[in-house]
Chains A and B, each alone.
Chain A
Amino acid sequence: MAVDNDTVKKIASLAKLRVESDKLEETKQEFNKILAWVEELGEVNTDNVEPLVSVNNEALTLRKDEVTLGHISKEVLANAPAEEFGYFVVPKVVE
């Protein structure tokens, strides 16, 4: 399944990335090379094969629903590019 320029633009928008128009052709070609390569997987018969999601066979443990690390908003915000009154600041999103 080869992709076209519009698909590359759509994927970039889903990924919140911009592909400049002069890089679109190059990106598409690279994309298609990689896709053609991974499509070799189509040769493998996977009828009745369960997908392997994790190699970890151990049951996940539940823990008590309690605060283990609270009151650290200063630390949480320490690397924020913009913060005010204990919140992350972003451009206005609600009109």
Chain B
Amino acid sequence: MTNLTDLTINESLIKLKNKEISPVELTKAYIEKMADNAKYNAYVTETTDMALRQAEESQKKYMNGTNRALEGIPLGIKDLFCTKGVRTTACSHIIDNFVPQYESTVTQNLLNSGALFLGKLNMDEFAMGGSNETSCFGTVVNPWSKDIKLVAGGSSGGSAAAVAAKMCAGATGTDTGGSIREPAAFCGVTGIKPTYGRCSRYGIMAFASSLDQAGPICKDVTDCALLLNSMAGYDEKDSTSSKIDVPDFNSFIGKDIKGIKVGIPQEYRPDGLNAEVGFYWDKAAEILKNAGAEIVNISLPHTKYALPTYYVIAPAEASSNLARYDGVRYCNRVDGNGLEELYINTRTAGFGKEVKRRILIGTYVLSAGYYDAYYLKAQKVRRLIKNDFDEAFKKCDIILTPTSPIEPFAIGDQKMLENPINMYLNDVFTVSVNLAGLPAMSLPIGLSKNGYPFGMQLIGKPFDEGTIFKTAYQLERGANFKRM
């Protein structure tokens, strides 16, 4: 018999329904993997006892025929989602013993579908980072590492590593500038950031509210559709969640893509583009062409301004969102002489270096005298970036790009650490999508010469995740990537 943790969610559900396996067996298999692979540092809190109790409940539901869409599927949850009664930290010392008194909407939706939670997953502090090196619980190790320990990507590094190393059947992630897609690409797994508004942000600790969006990270495209089905939907507790109907994403799996127009943005192929990235990009286009798609060249002229725009808007929103961590309402307090000093002492001791850097930048660009020059300017360029996509989607149905310009790098890489901008540049292909609020998926395409995964990104029109699922499924079939 195959190892239970090798099964996708879709395959597991079939075996569970046929009573070939039980939710308790499946959960125990994943718990064993969590112990075997603890070296990757993917989990920061484990809830395996609770998961086993839930699995027993699920078992009863399969026996009496009341099983729900994800009944008995063991998941990992990024530590940015509030989980009632289970420590939730955003991997920051400032709230490292916070126990939410309520459940985030996305995780509640998953629980309502019968899923169970194995624990909370490591991430960059407050989701600010691209390598998981800013977590207060230490860096996640990419399971594809050989002699050198590589980063798993970030900020959802724990989620991507846990799925790759089979420490959960699927995981939740969040994506503000690439935080689902980049780690998915680095770890050879599949993740989708849906359209802004698809998933409720209620109960997800806010980083940049106009950009943040939750999504699944899974072993394959079909599993992402199954998970997103349960995660998405209007929520009156989040005024930005959309009332647009959520289709059955699974219904797009296996549909043919004949005649679909796939756009290739010329601005994403600068002169210095990594040759292997270019090779796989061409290969992906070829696979889609062979499946009946038409390849068209498109232009996104403001691409080079996406990162600077992001690094004004995201820190601005972050500086405002993180003002609530003041030592009064949540957890850790460092006393001082008076209230002002209490705030300063608490925040100076509690936040890590990258978070402080972004709070400072954000405070500066919002401060009197600089607001127009930086923040307002960035919001205007954001409009131009969105307009570029609107224009491009008049010529194509979906856009194909690489997910990351590089393969996963070593933990502690000097070039990344000595200049924060070098780290920021890794998001060059992913941030525009958040600025424009579009859905986008990363799926593995192949390995580099060094044997590390590369990901391809498919960007869709707003609320057209369906075309992404349809196209990604064909790309996945053609790429025939071998999971770990």
Contact = CB atoms under 8 A, between A and B. Distances in A.
Interface string A29-49: 011011101111111101001
Given A30-B420, A34-B420, A81-B333, A52 B382 contact: yes
A33 B382 contact: no
B319 A15 contact: yes
A88 B348 contact: no
A79 B384 CA distance: 43
A55 interface: yes
7 contacts: A15-B363, A17-B356, A33-B421, A41-B374, A41-B378, A58-B242, A78-B101
A24 to B, nearest CB: 12
A86 interface: no
A8 B361 CA distance: 10
Interface residues of B, number: 71
Given A15-B363, A49-B384, A56-B196, A41 B329 contact: no
A72 B365 CA distance: 37
Contacts of B101: 72, 75-76, 78-79
A49 to B, nearest CB: 4
Given A17-B360, A40-B304, A61-B239, 4 more contacts: A15-B363, A51-B382, A54-B240, A55-B210
A81 B308 contact: no
A67 interface: no
A37 B347 contact: no
Chain A: interface size category: 35 or more
Contacts of A54: 210, 240
A54 to B, nearest CB: 6
Given A30-B357, A55-B436, A78-B99, A14 B363 contact: yes
Contacts of A15: 319, 347, 359-360, 363
Interface of A: 1, 3, 7-8, 11-12, 14-18, 27, 30-31, 33-35, 37-44, 46, 49-56, 58, 60-61, 63, 72, 75-76, 78-82, 88, 90-93
Contact of A18 (B344, B378, B386): B344
Contacts of A51: 376, 379-380, 382-383
Greatest chain B CB density within 10 A among A1, A15, A90 is at A15
Contact of B339 (A33, A50, A90): A90
A90 B327 CA distance: 9
A7 to B, nearest CB: 8
B417 to A, nearest CB: 12
